Structure 1
Amino acid sequence: MSIERARVVHRAQRREDVTVQVVPGGTVTERWVPVQRVGLYVPGGLAVYPSSVVMNVVPAQEAGVESLVVTSPPQRENHGLFAGYPHPTILAACQLLGVDEVYAAGGAQAIAMLAYGLPADADLGIDEVRPVTLVTGPGNVYVASAKRLLKGLVGIDAEAGPTEIAVLADETADADCVAADLISQAEHDPLAGSVLVTDSEDLVDRVVAAVERRVPDTKHSGRVRTALTGKQSGVVLVDDLDAGIAVVDEYAAEHLEIHTRDSAAVAARVRNAGAIFVGQYSPVSLGDYIAGSNHVLPTGGTAKHASGLSVQSFLRGIHVIDYDRDALAGVARHAVALAQSEDLPGHGQAVTARFGDGLPDDPAATRTEDR
């Protein structure tokens, strides 16, 4: 179901080529072309993420990418048939999605392998790994650093940091639900950020009590408590919801939940977030797994200028310019004038060369004179 819903959402993101007739005989087409080969990184440190396989592979497939390769760290606990391989759940997800090129490699070295490729080595039983043109997928600080260093050699989706959740709530919020959602992100990583923004002191007290009640019963309670008590997490008490919206817009959280009266109207006022989860029955976990949305999202405030992973991430827009003689003649004088204003006469001569090194008559002006 997770794959099916992701396909429904991402298939709708496909873009069609658009041709605009600028003048008679002159058109500009924006053509959307998928990248040829993509490397998809699936982390495998503190947790196993088959959902990340889905979130990376589905939009790439729906964009029409011809060649997909997945890399994920080998797992120490794997024994027998799976010794030295990524987690079996990762491999199963790849199988369900039809991905047949999967490598047991993690960290910065995996990103380097994707970017540069590897030659075949018969003695080691290694087939050639062809380099990719784009690397996507979240990872730890070493993965993010490698992507930063290799940006330019290959395209990247983003430099993902620790996960984060902000909850904007008023006194109508269910404290237990808010607490559970803050904890859910804290269990990812000791550096995960969980932030409550509210104008209700009573809600703060109720959420803190619910967190204290729930944390000891969570499987990763140590990790959760470290994240919740870190400087990246906390409570922001504001005067009213207007101030709360200003705070969450400045924070630009990867995940933003809205637990207020008329949550949809409040959500519509937010400008900066990786993804927005509206109301009590839209927890971040829903988006992580099965809502149909993508969970590879901008972190560290980059949601102010960046988007989450989508079909668009795997497409390139190419402008195709097609002018005939008359259409070029109609703008030749303007092109030459701009070339002269920039002191780039060769640009103008590249136009006039098509008309015997002189300025042509404007066909439109000629037609006007004829009338």
Structure 2
Amino acid sequence: MWASLVRIWAVAIKELKQLSRDRVTFAMIVMIPLVQLILFGFAINTDARHITAGVVDYAQSHTSRALVQTVQASQTVSFTESYYSPQEATAAIIRGDIKAVLVLPHDLDRRIALHAKTLTQDPAHTLDEPIGQWLVDGSDTLIAATVRSLRNMPLTDISNTVAPKPPVTFEVVQWFNPEQRSVVNIVPGLLAIILTMTMILFTSAAIVREREQGNMEFLINTPIRPFELMLGKITPYVFAGLIQVSIILLVGHMLFAVPIRGGLLSLFGAALLFICASLTLGLVISTVAKTQLQAMQLTVFVLLPSILLSGFMFPYQAMPELAQWLAEGLPATHFMRMVRAIVLREAELSSLEPDALWLVGFTLIGLALASLRFKKKL
């Protein structure tokens, strides 16, 4: 028994020394729990605040401006844009610029006065006629539920009437997902998460595997250039990613009745951009890692923020500003916005140009960085 314990102790000491020399693995032991705890502790928040919204003010009166200020004072929404018509605001919702729009009618003052008069006569009575209308992006169920909470607002700050029970002051119209089925929002998001996991995983060990299997000598003796090698590495997986996209969309549509409102050309175009960006990120990881175990650890280090910060599980609008900056550096965040806009809101790829250009730039920079880091030597 004593001899067995000595042998176990010897192996444990050997592993500890090897771990201390493996800087990447040792750093992951410390950094993964530390960074994830701090980052997600601040970023994970289901209480959506300061939701970006627009306003269509037909009244253009002191009362309408006071009403907008009253709504914004709740800190639930932040009015960032003003539009001339609901059609213009609708286009902004489809593009993803805003999540909701408040439409105030021409006769806003008359409606508020009628509410005030009725409440003076009968404080428990509410009117069927709303004083305004909310148009909400219903594809995000949590955002839609948060905006719906604004439908009952007291008019104390607008008129001198103090209502014991706040009247139903706004009509809420939910677009793209009126049934509020969460699966409609989850399935397109899963497309981004699954592609992130598989694409980065496929290529994160690509260069490391060549070294461990002894194929690096063959690559060194060939006239292939680093950029050509990197491009050749990701090409087969591009087709594999497109196959995964087809499977997820088909099963999601048939099994969960998820609508596909946008054009398939725009959808597969956006998926192609994201697949290339994820594959190049995996290649960069592969040039940093020394072993396949390190490549797996770095993949997990990228995957967890992609799941939690991209808007898949928690609203992007609910995150603090620092977390949003970090989220903007992840390809999954940009594709999450694109795929939900195309699948659920019938957006075109041309209207999502900022996110598309960001993915193109990320791919080119990733390929260049991976090519510069790869050296044709042992």
After TM superposition, the score normalised by the length of structure 1 is 0.25
Bigger proportion of residues as helix: 2
Bigger proportion of residues as strand: 1
